[in-house]
């Protein structure tokens, strides 16, 4: 909860100077996907700040209304992106609108599900975040960073984009390690980690497209290979288990480190071969995860490799005899 309150305050700190002092955004506001310009934009801009200030207050003091209201606002933002990409001359069309709407719907779904299941603050996802669980804070921060990644890219702030992306990768490395060392492993933590990874890696191609369009076009085949290799095992795992498996395989960890090093080299120095190797290695990661899904009858978390899945299946088979 504290992390979500800090995110809301950070949103105000980001929006207010932007609405007041940045020339190309100062006199533009978007409501329900439609742009307001000039005086109407300046007059309605503080309403956005008030929404996030109310969110910070509600999350910090754990008010009962904050979950459904925050979920509704997340879906409202998703709807705005869908409409804006269609009607604005600055929009990127329906495909970008659908993709952005899907991305911004992720926190809405998480908040809606937490409220729908009627969890208590001390036992819910948000309660565990507020309860001093540092690994969950890191994972939640990775989810919260996705809108800022997109905003930085949209405004041409390449340095801020890469800094946020680097911090996201660092949090991905630290959350699992800290969870094991501090004895704070949990099913909720595993889910937060999965959603954090998804938000980070989905935001990356959109941001890179806006900031380094020519480079992304040239490397489109490798980008597509990497995205399919990352998303396909999760989709197949969900189709089989009706749940998202969090294997956290050694190969995926190595692939994330390789991508984390290769992406800045490609975008900043136009050095393509490390990215191409890292993209190809994602196929190895995908094969590892798909093998685990094929072998295991039930959804498991923290299976380091397909070889561990083989041993796990043998143990399960011997117990069933």
The pLDDT tens digits of the residues spanning 46-67 come to 888 898 888 888 888 878 888 8
Structure tokens at 249: 């395989």
284: confidence class by pLDDT, cuts 50, 70, 90: very high
Please name which of 214, 226, 219 lies closest in space to residue 273, comparing C-alpha atoms: 219
Positive or negative torsion for Cα 81, 86, 92, 96: positive
Task: Give the pLDDT mean for 209-218.
Answer: 91
The more confidently predicted of residues 240 and 150 is 240
Task: Return the top range by mean pLDDT from 7-11, 117-121, 219-223, 268-272.
Answer: 219-223
Measured distance CA(120)–CA(80) in Å, rounded = 31
Provide the H-helix boundaries in 242-305: 250-269, 273-295
β-partners of residue 29 are: 36
Residue 4 or 310, more confident: 310
* Tokens coding 214: 């020519």
- Across 146-150, 212-216, 294-298, least confident range: 146-150
CB 113 within 8 A of CB 143: no
What average pLDDT does this structure show over 273-302? 92
What is the per-residue pLDDT for 248?
A: 82
If you average pLDDT over every residue of the chain, what do you get? 81
319 SS3 class: helix
The pTM score is 0.58
Position 279 confidence tier, pLDDT thresholds 50, 70, 90: very high
* CA dihedral for 306, 223, 269, 164, sign (positive or negative): negative
Q: What is the DSSP string of 153-193?
A: HHTT-HHHHHHHHHHHHHHHHHHHHHHHHHT---HHHHHHH
- Mean pLDDT score, 263-267: 87
Number of continuous H segments (helices) and E segments (strands) in the chain:
14, 2
Q: How confident is the model at residue 3 (pLDDT cuts 50, 70, 90)?
A: low
Work out the number of other CB atoms within 10 angstroms of the CB of residue 73: 17
Please say if the pLDDT value at position 123 is more than 60.
no
For residue range 168-204, list pLDDT tens digits in order: 887 777 777 777 777 777 777 777 888 888 888 888 8
pLDDT of 116: 65
pLDDT reported for residue 290: 95
Reply yes or no on whether the pLDDT at 292 is more than 90. yes
Angle (deg, nearest 10), helices 220-241 and 273-295? 10
What is the C-alpha separation between 142 and 129, in angstroms, rounded? 13
What are the boundaries of each domain within the chain?
1-131, 137-211, 213-321
Cα–Cα distances (Å) from 37 to 43, 125, 243, in that order, read: 10, 39, 45
- Cα gap 264→11, rounded to integer Å: 26
């Amino acid at each position: 909860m504290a992390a979500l309150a800090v995110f809301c305050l950070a949103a105000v700190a980001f929006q207010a100077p932007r609405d007041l002092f940045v020339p190309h955004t100062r006199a533009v506001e978007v409501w329900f996907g439609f742009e307001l310009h000039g005086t109407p934009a300046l007059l309605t801009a503080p309403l956005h700040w008030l929404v996030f200030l109310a969110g910070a207050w509600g999350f910090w003091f754990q008010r009962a209304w904050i979950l459904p209201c925050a979920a509704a606002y997340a879906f409202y933002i998703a709807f705005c992106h869908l409409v804006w990409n269609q009607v604005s001359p600055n929009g990127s069309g329906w495909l970008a609108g659908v993709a952005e709407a899907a991305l911004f719907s992720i926190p809405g779904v998480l908040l809606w599900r937490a409220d729908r299941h009627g969890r208590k603050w001390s036992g819910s996802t948000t309660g565990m975040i507020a309860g001093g669980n540092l690994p969950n804070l890191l994972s939640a921060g990775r989810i919260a960073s996705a809108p800022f990644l997109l905003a930085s890219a949209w405004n041409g702030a390449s340095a801020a984009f890469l800094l946020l992306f680097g911090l996201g990768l660092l949090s991905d490395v630290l959350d699992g390690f800290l969870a094991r060392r501090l004895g704070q492993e949990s099913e909720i933590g595993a889910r937060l980690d999965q959603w954090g990874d998804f938000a980070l890696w989905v935001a990356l191609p959109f941001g890179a497209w806006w900031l380094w369009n020519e480079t992304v076009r040239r490397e489109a085949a490798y980008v597509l290979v990497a995205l399919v290799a990352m998303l396909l095992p999760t989709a197949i795992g969900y189709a089989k288990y009706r749940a998202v498996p969090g294997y956290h395989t050694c190969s995926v960890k190595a692939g994330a480190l390789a991508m984390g090093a290769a992406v800045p080299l490609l975008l900043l120095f136009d050095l393509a071969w490390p990215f191409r190797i890292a993209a190809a290695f994602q196929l190895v990661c995908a094969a590892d995860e798909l093998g685990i899904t094929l072998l295991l009858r039930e959804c498991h978390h923290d299976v380091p490799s397909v070889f561990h899945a083989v041993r796990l299946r043998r143990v399960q088979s011997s117990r069933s005899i």
